[in-house]
């Protein structure tokens, strides 16, 4: 086995690559390097299998080959005033559709309408025994058969090589407006997140930058109603509210996982969390200048940047001690998981059913 990368130009070549190699890992454009760094596997790039194969805006569905870049997809949708509401990540970096499904990463927009799992309708993939599987459907509503497309969200290429994906898409709101709210403390910020998330305002995104103690709120809808609702928020929360238009760069920098104070991170980690867990995690790690975090999706996801190996070890140790698991997105890591691990009792059963010959690597263990 080697670390070579094969780049099939056709589905037949992809099938040959899977059948002809002992252990393969499907990859896209490697925008999340820590997820494709398994040693001793043959990487198979889906990058050449690209293109939108079906898009009828009035059906709210789009089908594209897995190697299609998210930037192409986002652009095609924007031309018809549509979008993927979950804020696809690393679009400018070159992320592909297949990689977006396999990593399951969603940005701040996940808050309002759901994440990758909530917008994937159908998936075609090559199984380890060289079969083409067509799971799910191409219509916006479907309850037939097991929901294998959802299973593949976050599966990191360990259950099959995704070749084509059908997504649900939505009409793009006419305008967005962002409110940056200064908070006195993390506790006040969390109270405001809770209040905002169940408020009448129907916010599009609710994030929190702990270093600056700033809450980011995004409104999406007709410009006039955004302005009126923003006025109501300001009158509720006082003068510490700055209002920005769609050009505000905070959201796009976050979508590209850029951190102002750590420009060369040792690791970037996704940590599913809750507001309470966040507070505990931040109390433990927040004083370290080599660790930076951002709380997204109204307190449900923490993005963590570490500057050094020491800082990474500190994060890993804390997560393991508190039975939390994070996904390493970037950094030259041998393990995609950090903390207590993602070994699940159902994993081996499902892995064996999906990939009986073990053509795809298992998850790297906790580290």
Residues 101-160 that bind other proteins (CB under 8 A): 104, 106, 110, 113-115, 117-118, 127, 131-135, 137-148, 150-156, 158-159
Residue with Cβ nearer other proteins (39 or 81):
81
Provide the minimum distance between the beta carbon of 304 and other proteins in the complex, in angstroms, as a whole number: 13
Q: Which residues, numbered 183-202, are part of the site for other proteins (CB under 8 A)?
A: 190, 194, 197-202
What distance in Å separates the CA atoms of residue 174 and residue 194, rounded to the nearest whole number? 26
- 233 to each of 11, 195, 203, 207, 250, how far by Cα in Å? 52, 11, 11, 15, 19
Provide the minimum distance between the beta carbon of 265 and other proteins in the complex, in angstroms, as a whole number: 18
What distance in Å separates the CA atoms of residue 109 and residue 91, rounded to the nearest whole number? 14
Residue with Cβ nearer other proteins (69 or 285):
285
Residue with Cβ nearer other proteins (4 or 59):
59
Quick check: 67 binds other proteins (CB under 8 A)?
no
Site string for other proteins, 335-354 (x = CB under 8 A): --x----x-xxxx-xx-xxx
Provide the minimum distance between the beta carbon of 187 and other proteins in the complex, in angstroms, as a whole number: 12
Strand partners, 326: 338
Q: Give me the DSSP letters along 73-121.
A: HHHHHHHTTEE-TT-BSSTTTT-BHHHHHHH--B-TTHHHH--HHHHEE
State the distance between the two ends of the chain, measured CA to CA, in whole angstroms.
23
Residue corresponding to tokens 């399951």: 104
What distance in Å separates the CA atoms of residue 272 and residue 149, rounded to the nearest whole number? 21
Residue with Cβ nearer other proteins (1 or 131):
131
Provide the minimum distance between the beta carbon of 148 and other proteins in the complex, in angstroms, as a whole number: 7
Q: Which residues, numbered 235-294, are part of the site for other proteins (CB under 8 A)?
A: 270, 272-276
Tell how strand 42-45 and strand 5-6 pair up. parallel
Quick check: 30 binds other proteins (CB under 8 A)?
no
Q: Which residues, numbered 219-238, are part of the site for other proteins (CB under 8 A)?
A: 221-222, 224-225, 228-229, 232
What distance in Å separates the CA atoms of residue 308 and residue 302, rounded to the nearest whole number? 18
């Amino acid at each position: 086995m080697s670390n070579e990368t094969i780049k099939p130009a056709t589905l037949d070549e992809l099938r040959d690559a899977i059948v002809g190699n002992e252990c393969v890992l499907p990859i896209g454009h490697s925008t999340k390097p820590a997820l494709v760094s398994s040693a001793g596997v043959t990487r198979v790039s889906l990058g050449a299998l690209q293109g939108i194969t079906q898009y009828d805006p009035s059906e709210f569905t789009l089908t594209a080959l897995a190697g299609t870049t998210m930037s192409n997809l986002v652009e095609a949708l924007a031309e018809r005033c549509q979008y993927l509401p979950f804020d696809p990540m690393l679009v400018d970096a070159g992320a592909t559709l297949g990689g977006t499904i396999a990593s399951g990463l969603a940005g701040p927009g996940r808050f309002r309408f759901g994440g990758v799992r909530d917008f994937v309708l159908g998936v075609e993939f090559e199984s380890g025994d060289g079969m083409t599987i067509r799971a799910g459907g191409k219509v916006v509503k479907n309850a037939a058969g097991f929901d294998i497309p959802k299973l593949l969200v976050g599966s990191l290429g360990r259950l099959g090589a995704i070749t084509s994906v059908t997504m649900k898409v939505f009409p793009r709101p006419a305008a967005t407006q962002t409110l940056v709210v200064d908070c006195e403390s993390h506790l006040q910020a969390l109270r405001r997140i809770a209040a905002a998330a169940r408020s009448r305002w129907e916010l599009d995104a609710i994030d929190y930058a702990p270093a600056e103690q700033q809450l980011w709120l995004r409104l999406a809808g007709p410009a006039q109603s955004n302005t009126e609702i923003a006025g109501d928020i300001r009158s509720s929360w006082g003068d510490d509210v700055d209002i920005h238009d769609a050009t505000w760069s905070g959201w796009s920098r976050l979508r590209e996982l850029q951190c102002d104070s750590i420009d060369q991170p040792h690791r970037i980690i996704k940590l599913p969390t809750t507001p309470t867990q966040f507070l505990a995690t931040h109390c433990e790690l927040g004083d370290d200048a080599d660790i930076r975090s951002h709380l997204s999706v109204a307190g449900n996801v923490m993005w963590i940047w570490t500057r050094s190996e020491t800082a990474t070890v500190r994060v890993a140790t804390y997560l393991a001690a508190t039975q939390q698991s994070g996904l390493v997105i970037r950094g030259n890591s041998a393990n995609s998981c950090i903390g207590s691990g993602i070994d699940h009792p159902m994993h081996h059963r499902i892995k064996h059913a999906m990939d009986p010959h073990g053509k795809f690597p298992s998850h790297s263990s906790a580290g």
